[in-house]
């Protein structure tokens, strides 16, 4: 199972919760490397973040889903609890620099403002914890998970430092296999409409007329023509359901391009 980051990353935590502890992990430096590992069969599946409830979409994941032939086969919502962690013996008043992934830093703005420290983006939350351990930094801390602190034998200076308790990250399971209908599924697609008035309205109407509930819509630049966009849509139902199949067939008449990213069992809703 491939994930982005070092051991102790939130992606690994999500994978443990989803698959259990009897799987082998393949840490990858980047999200692109996760996709490449699964595409090349170095890993059977990958776990990638797609959106955060506070900071929004993970744009790189959406772009990689568009260019890859991998299939979304599952989703998981992880409650993210950030900790300020440091080497043993470091006091919170000793901290002059804080390292972490840019999204984690953004999710802890209010707490960091109270510290008055230098904020330094790093490629991964757990990676920042490993770095301050490896470099033996005694004037720095990292924002990462409690599990990362345990893995690298670091001490926790403060827990639950995120700005909001409603801090969840949604993850996709990516692989090469399709999931059969379960009766409580979701489907993710991406499409491009004609650049004419009412094009998106007409496209989304195919779902409304059949009572299919849209759960998310996200736009990303096509990167081919300025100010034209790909639309990523999640909705309830499996692509093999009769109403969903009919909607997708009709959608073809209102789009220039359409790709089904996958149908998969719905994750439990955050509580």
Tell me which residues are annotated as active site.
Answer: 169, 171
Distance of CA 84 to the CA centre of its chain: 22
Paired tokens of 77:
């919502």
- The CA-based angle 68-145-173, given to 5 degrees, is 25
Half-sphere exposure of residue 199, counting CA atoms within 13 Å on the CB side? Answer: 17
- Report how far residue 33's alpha carbon sits from residue 141's, in angstroms, rounded to the nearest whole number: 27
Tokens of 117: 């420290």
């Amino acid at each position: 199972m491939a994930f982005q980051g070092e051991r102790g990353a939130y992606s690994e935590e999500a994978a443990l919760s989803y698959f259990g502890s009897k799987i082998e992990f393949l840490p990858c430096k980047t999200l692109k490397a996760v996709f490449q590992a699964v595409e090349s069969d170095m890993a059977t599946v990958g776990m990638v973040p797609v959106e955060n409830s506070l900071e929004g979409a993970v744009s790189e994941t959406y772009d990689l889903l568009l260019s890859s032939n991998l299939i979304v086969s599952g989703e998981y919502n992880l409650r993210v609890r950030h900790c300020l962690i440091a080497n043993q013996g470091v006091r919170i008043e000793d901290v002059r620099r804080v390292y972490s992934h840019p999204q984690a830093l953004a999710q802890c703005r209010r707490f960091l403002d109270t510290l008055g420290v230098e904020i330094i983006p790093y490629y991964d939350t757990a990676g920042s914890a490993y770095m301050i351990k490896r470099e033996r930094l005694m004037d720095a801390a990292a924002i990462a998970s409690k599990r990362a602190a345990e893995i690298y034998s670091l001490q926790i200076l403060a827990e639950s430092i995120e700005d909001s308790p409603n801090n969840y990250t949604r993850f996709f399971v990516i692989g090469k296999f399709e999931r059969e209908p379960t009766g409580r599924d979701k489907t993710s697609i991406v499409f491009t409409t004609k650049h004419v008035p009412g094009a998106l309205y007409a496209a989304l109407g195919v779902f409304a007329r059949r009572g299919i509930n849209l759960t998310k819509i996200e736009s990303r630049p096509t990167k081919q023509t300025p100010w034209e966009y790909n639309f990523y849509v999640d909705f309830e139902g499996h692509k093999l359901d009769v109403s969903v199949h009919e909607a997708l067939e009709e959608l073809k008449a209102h789009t220039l391009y359409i790709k089904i990213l996958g149908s998969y069992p719905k994750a439990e809703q955050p509580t």
